[in-house]
Amino acid sequence: MNVEITLKDDSKRGTLPKDENTLGFGRIFTDHMFIHEFKEGMWQNPKIEPYRNLSLSPAALVLHYAQEIFEGMKAFHQQNNKGVSLFRPELNAQRMVDSAIRMDMAPYPIDYFLEALQKLVGIERKWVPSLVGTSLYIRPTMIASQEALGLKSSKEYLFYVILTPVGPYFSEGFKPIKIFVEPFFVRAVLGGTGEAKTGGNYSSSLLALKKAFDAGCSQVMWLDAIEHKYIEEVGTMNQFFVLDEVIYTAPLTGTVLRGVTRESVIQLAKDQGYKVKEEALSIDQVIEGIHSGNLSEAFGAGTAASIAPVGELFYKDKKYHINSLNVGPITQKLYDLLTGIQYGRIQDPYGWNVPIK
Q: Residue 236: pLDDT above 90?
A: no
Q: Is residue 354 part of a domain?
A: no
**Do residue 235 and residue 335 come from a single domain?**
yes
Span 121-143, mean pLDDT? Answer: 96
Cβ(201)–Cβ(187) below 8 Å: yes
Model confidence over 206-222: pLDDT tens digits?
999 999 999 999 999 99
Cβ(255)–Cβ(195) below 8 Å: yes
- pTM here is 0.96
**Do residue 130 and residue 195 come from a single domain?**
no
Total domains present in the chain:
2
Q: Residue 14: pLDDT above 80?
A: no
What's the rounded Cα separation, in Å, for the pair 62 and 47? 21
The whole domain housing 40 covers: 4-166
If pLDDT is split at 50, 70 and 90, which confidence band does 176 have?
very high
Model confidence over 45-97: pLDDT tens digits?
999 999 999 999 999 999 999 999 999 999 999 997 779 999 999 999 999 99
**Do residue 332 and residue 196 come from a single domain?**
yes
Q: Residue 184: pLDDT above 90?
A: yes
Q: Is residue 172 part of a domain?
A: no
CATH code, domain with 138: 3.30.470.10
Query: What's the confidence (pLDDT) of residue 171?
Result: 79
CATH code, domain with 236: 3.20.10.10
Query: What's the confidence (pLDDT) of residue 172?
Result: 80
Cβ(291)–Cβ(321) below 8 Å: no
Model confidence over 94-110: pLDDT tens digits?
999 999 999 999 999 99
Cβ(344)–Cβ(80) below 8 Å: yes
**Do residue 188 and residue 113 come from a single domain?**
no
Query: What's the confidence (pLDDT) of residue 11?
Result: 66
**Do residue 336 and residue 252 come from a single domain?**
yes
Q: Residue 10: pLDDT above 90?
A: no
**Do residue 104 and residue 144 come from a single domain?**
yes
